[in-house]
Amino acid sequence: MRIGVLGTGVVGRTIATKLRELGHDVLIGSRTAGDDAVPFAEAATHGELLFNCTAGTASLEALGAAGLDNLAGKILVDVSNSLDFSRGRPPTLAVCNDDSVGEQIQRAFPETKVVKALNTVNAAVMVSPDLVPGEHAVFVCGNDDDAKSEVRELLQSFGWPASGIIDLGDIPAARGPEMYIALWLRLMGAVGTPSFNINVVR
């Protein structure tokens, strides 16, 4: 599959590397082309499916640069979190409570099939869930059921078992996983490693 990964940080490059290992044709998009990255618009045009791995506070601007027409009709896996470090650490959430970055993207790009996923674990665990022993969960949400099914299959190719992928419903459900990042940051400090996750016990 042709996939565009928007964002050249640790998350974007980790996901792009995994996708290439799985045999996908991947272009990484950035604000400024260079090294192995191309402009956002070129990566978005290339991809049949896209990943938004930009910072949540910059996602709308980055996706705007990618181009409305280049995103239309495509699945966009939104991995972003709206962390605001302007007042130091720990960061606050720039978007929360009655909105989410996932919803903002869906409103701005109504013809794009936005699926929120993977933002509740660190980059290494996103693509190698076996780094965390035992059963643990990852979440998806979005308005298009077929898009979510396709993302679930992709997550399974990363190593996530079907039983561990929990569908939270439509895109407003993105508020929960995005606000969880505040707890995730405190948990990372408490357990002393970013390679951890949670499970839903029932």
What one-character-per-residue DSSP string does 38-54 give?
Answer: EEHHHHHHH-SEEEE-S
- Cβ of 55: how many Cβ atoms within 10 Å? 20
- Residue 184, phi then psi, degrees to nearest 5: -55, -45
Nearest to 73 by CA among 104, 110, 40: 110
- In the chain, what are the domain boundaries? 2-191
Task: Name the strands in the sheet holding 113-117, side by side, starting at the edge strand that comes first in the sequence.
Answer: 37-39, 25-30, 2-6, 49-52, 75-78, 113-117, 138-142, 165-167
Burial per residue of 24-46, b for 16 or more beta-carbon CB atoms within 10 angstroms, e otherwise: bebbbbbbeeeeebbbbbbbbbb
pLDDT, mean over the chain: 96
Q: Mean pLDDT throughout 165-182? A: 97
Statement: residue 129 has pLDDT above 80: yes
Report the pLDDT value the prediction gives residue 197, as an integer from 0 to 100: 98
In this predicted structure, which of 34-43, 139-148, 163-172 has the lowest mean pLDDT?
Answer: 34-43
Mean pLDDT confidence for 101-128: 98
Reduced to 3 DSSP states, what percent helix, strand and coil does the chain have, rounded to the nearest 5?
A: 45, 20, 35
Say yes or no to pLDDT of 92 above 90.
Answer: no
**CA pair distance 202, 200, nearest whole angstrom:** 6
Check whether 160 has a pLDDT greater than 90. Answer: yes
Quote the distance between the C-alpha of residue 168 and its chain's center: 15
Q: Which two tokens stand for residue 85?
A: 């470090």
Q: What is the mean pLDDT of residues 158-162?
A: 98
User: pTM score, two decimals?
Assistant: 0.96
What are the pLDDT digits (tens) for 75-86? 999 999 999 888
Q: Which two tokens stand for residue 1?
A: 């599959």
Calculate what percentage of the chain has a pLDDT beyond 70.
100
Burial 124-155 (b: 16+ CB within 10 A, else e): bbbbebebbeeebbbbbbbbbeebbebbbebb
pLDDT at residue 21 in the model: 98
Given this model, what pLDDT does residue 32 score? Answer: 85
Q: What is the CATH number of domain 2-191?
A: 3.40.50.720
Specify the pLDDT at position 86. 82
pLDDT above 80 for 34: no
Tokens of 74: 């495509």
Q: Is the peptide bond before 90 cis (omega within 30 degrees of 0)?
A: yes
